Amino acid sequence: MEIDFSSLRFLLKATSKNQVKTLVRLASQTPPIPRILQEIQSSMELTDNEFNSLLSAITNLTIVYLKESSVEYPADFHEKLKELLNSLLFELENELRKVSKQPNLPKLTSYDWRIDIRTASSGLEKTPRIPRASLELNIEGKKEIIELTRSRVEIMLGMLGKIKEQLDNLAEV
């Protein structure tokens, strides 16, 4: 696992040790990003890309620490930041291990879609063309293909809209 140490240097913009501790505790949480992290991002004046790189680097740092019980930092890495990260990882180790051992649901890694039109005929009678949406879902390396009729697509869109609404509402809390 590769750690982006240059992104970890964004932690030098943190206004307190408590901000860094919160970032270490919550970095690996699944989106949507908790409001507290959004506030920290704003106070650190980081772009979305910089902040996402930072969260990814902290997550990778945590994974390496939990596997190895130590982290090899580059020789030119900021000494005080290195000490702070090591002390926080040590302090939060039990909490981080507990969270990392929780079972996770499979993650959707990519998807693609296309429209297929099937024509069916039986002898003399020609049936109408039936369009279907084919969705290719890659779920942690396993490819699944599902077919949906227009009505099923509409039902699915309605359900996804409700899910998005609920996630948006929870993100505001």
pLDDT given for residue 57 in this prediction: 92
Give the amino acid at 68.
E
Domain total in the chain: 2
Domain extent, residue 121, equals: 108-171
Together in a domain, 96 and 112: no
Among candidates 44, 69, 66, which has minimal Cα distance to 55?
44
Last residue of a domain, one of 79, 100, 121: 100
- Distances in whole angstroms, Cα of residue 57 to Cα of each of 1, 8, 11, 62, 171: 10, 6, 11, 9, 23
| Residue that finishes a domain, picked among 100, 134, 161 | 100
Give tens-digit pLDDT for 40-53.
999 999 998 999 89
Tokens 């989106």 sit at which residue? 31
d(CA 124, CA 18): 76
Residues 87 and 133 in one domain: no
| Predicted pLDDT of residue 34 | 78
Query: Same structural domain for residues 46 and 121?
Result: no
Same domain for 89 and 16: yes
Res 10: pLDDT: 93
Q: Tell me: the pLDDT tens digits for 138-155?
A: 987 789 999 999 999 999
Contact indicator for 89, 65 with CB cutoff of 8 Å: yes
Residue pair 40/10 in contact by the 8 Å Cβ criterion: no
31 and 82 assigned to the same domain: yes
Q: 112 and 94, same structural domain?
A: no
Same domain, 12 and 95: yes
pLDDT at residue 97 in the model: 82
| pLDDT digit string (tens) for the chain, length 173 residues | 688 899 999 999 999 999 999 999 888 776 667 788 889 999 999 998 999 899 999 989 998 888 888 889 999 999 999 999 999 999 998 888 887 765 566 778 889 999 988 776 665 566 677 899 999 999 877 899 999 999 999 999 999 999 988 888 877 65
Same domain, 96 and 126: no
Q: How confident is the model at residue 32, as a pLDDT? A: 65
From 78, 100, 122, the end of a domain falls on: 100
